[in-house]
Structure 1
């Protein structure tokens, strides 16, 4: 799928050849389709506005979109194809394990990749200059989430988890941070437990919080429904650091049962003028409130357009430009640096909040733990 260039500010298409950007997003199952749609909406809006402003060096931007469907092998094949099509850079992806596969392949092929939304710390096996990231690293955001738990008095925390590099990494971050501060983490493997059996284990373990480190909608939604129905667990906090409640599908599936479940959200508490304007434009495109993932997509194109205007579409020059970036995005000024333990150029850090949906109005978010 290719998104053609939008008309330029004059209202006419330029005859100059387009500068192509390869866009990766989960647009079909088993990928998280709603997240992919929001990511793509942000990428497309960024391209539209760049072209309205005259493109880059008099040339329009063009997105060449490929669906990863949450499949690492499919993402690798897409990177191979996009590299042969001559894209100047790659952008996007939501699922961390998929983004890792794409980043590794892009690095091997010499194609710069600006990752929009995946948070896994080890995005590549080795340090590279070709990959940069807009989203915060998992270790950063999930430590802040652990601080929120401790501040709310939760020191015995259960995690319902599934086998995955992403979930294993998140569990390790939480355990290391909580145990060092007197907390405990009990790991419950949902590949061997039903939601009902999980409830029995939660009672036996005397946990005060349950974190959903599992896929959506299955088994996350059935777990929430089962815990909410169990009178023995009426006082337990359900949390979702990976952000499952961010999207409208969560409320559609769970209603008020999906409220009061704290999750990580990468937005400022109060948007500035650019964030407000872009948020309104994204709402028009999506027909719904934009998630933080949509803003990440928009910011990705804002950075790439700035780099392309300054350095041109040469892949090596783009990769060399990450440390020089200073671009005003929807959530603050974006600059890349080398963060400890992370092998890619990293925006350190975007705003991070812990929020939940208000039980009285599930469409409204409550900020529980802001971090500028």
Structure 2
């Protein structure tokens, strides 16, 4: 691996602000609500860092680029931001987009802390330039599979669109469920209408349908169709990727959108920092902050720590994550090498399976919590 001059130095060389490039989906077909929450967290943390004196007395500045869920657009943004002298990159929600950004960041020797994307193979090969806050998909989705089996679901159907992310999720579920006496059947949503999907679910006797599809299309029409089919009155609809987390889900589906379990990366109780940040994020967003907003905030907390420490120890700039140990909104953050994952990884952010409470749809019920094991070194 080449070792270019540290951009952590380049980002501080002109005597002005210390710049961080932020990659965020803010337009369609990106998941705009997720992007807005991610950006709110990033911006709040930058504001607080600057209120506390910045980076060695210099203000932290966020340069935001909309990725629109487009890998090529993200890679071009990384090139542009590197040319503007950013000290590091932050953000991104979509896994396939984050993978493209990580590849360019690695090639340029530019530190990239991925906030939200979970795909295990974030990079093709191990790198010291990229780290991740969100749990790897193999970790979170196994916890979801554990929840499914614990709830008695053995015949599981996935309505899936074509993507590396959805294919990886299906594989993780199948590898966990099949040895434990269950089955996972994949239904191709490129060829099935919502009505045809309902027929397939009845034919296979599925007790759970997992939505491995985009939101709002085709997730919303699928949910409506299943709820209107009396033959499927007992089927559980799940959305491990987190579609029901955001207000748009409840707005579009109403009562049809409750009791749909999904993965959320929050502890059962927030500590003092998390509680304070939750209040500030709610003021910024006008709604309850999602876990994605907390991921954005924690990203800047980590990068501020990295940027402050690099001035004292430039020799370790090629692997800026090893000495990080900071208090985030969801726990103590440090990075390690997790087996099979090529980037530095927080192992692991708190992981829950939750749903919207039918009696109070703006309230989330915790259905299952992941064990805090597998603390790799």
TM-score w.r.t. the length of structure 2 is: 0.93
Structure 2's unaligned 5+ residue stretches are 1-13, 373-377
Distance 1:232 1:333 in 2: 47
Alignment check: 8 A CA contact 2:99 2:122 kept: yes
Aligned partner of 1:44 in structure 2 is 43
Distance 2:78 2:143 in 1: 33
SS of residue paired to 1:180: helix
SS of residue paired to 2:62: strand
Aligned partner of 2:326 in structure 1 is 327
Say whether 1:258 aligns with 2:279: no
The RMSD of aligned alpha carbons is 1.3
Alignment check: 8 A CA contact 1:91 1:115 kept: yes
Counterparts of 1:116-131 in structure 2, within 5 Å, are 116-131=115-130
Alignment check: 8 A CA contact 1:19 1:313 kept: no
Distance 2:172 2:322 in 1: 27
SS of residue paired to 2:267: coil
Distance 1:65 1:249 in 2: 23
**CA deviation string 1:284-334 (max 9, x = no partner):** 110110000000000000000011111139998444221111110000000
SS of residue paired to 2:369: strand
Alignment check: 8 A CA contact 2:105 2:112 kept: yes
Alignment check: 8 A CA contact 2:129 2:320 kept: no
Shift of the 315–260 alpha-carbon distance from structure 1 to 2, 3 Å rule, reads: farther
Counterparts of 1:200-219 in structure 2, within 5 Å, are 200-219=199-218
Distance 1:147 1:32 in 2: 27
Alignment check: 8 A CA contact 1:262 1:356 kept: yes
Say whether 1:75 aligns with 2:95: no
SS of residue paired to 1:221: helix
Alignment check: 8 A CA contact 2:198 2:225 kept: yes
Aligned partner of 2:283 in structure 1 is 284
SS of residue paired to 1:323: coil
Distance 1:297 1:318 in 2: 23
Counterparts of 1:198-237 in structure 2, within 5 Å, are 198-237=197-236
Distance 2:236 2:162 in 1: 23
Distance 1:325 1:358 in 2: 37
Counterparts of 1:16-165 in structure 2, within 5 Å, are 16-165=15-164
Shift of the 136–197 alpha-carbon distance from structure 1 to 2, 3 Å rule, reads: same
Aligned partner of 2:299 in structure 1 is 300
Alignment check: 8 A CA contact 2:111 2:320 kept: no
Distance 1:74 1:316 in 2: 33
Aligned partner of 1:338 in structure 2 is 337
Aligned residue-pair number: 358
Structure 1's unaligned 5+ residue stretches are 1-14
Distance 2:82 2:312 in 1: 13
Say whether 1:349 aligns with 2:348: yes
Deviation at 1:16, TM superposition (A): 4.9
Distance 1:315 1:243 in 2: 39
Distance 2:322 2:15 in 1: 29
Deviation at 1:182, TM superposition (A): 1.2
Shift of the 251–319 alpha-carbon distance from structure 1 to 2, 3 Å rule, reads: farther
Distance 2:349 2:326 in 1: 13
Distance 2:126 2:168 in 1: 19
SS of residue paired to 2:180: coil
Distance 1:32 1:210 in 2: 22
TM-score w.r.t. the length of structure 1 is: 0.94
Alignment check: 8 A CA contact 2:160 2:166 kept: yes
Alignment check: 8 A CA contact 1:336 1:347 kept: yes
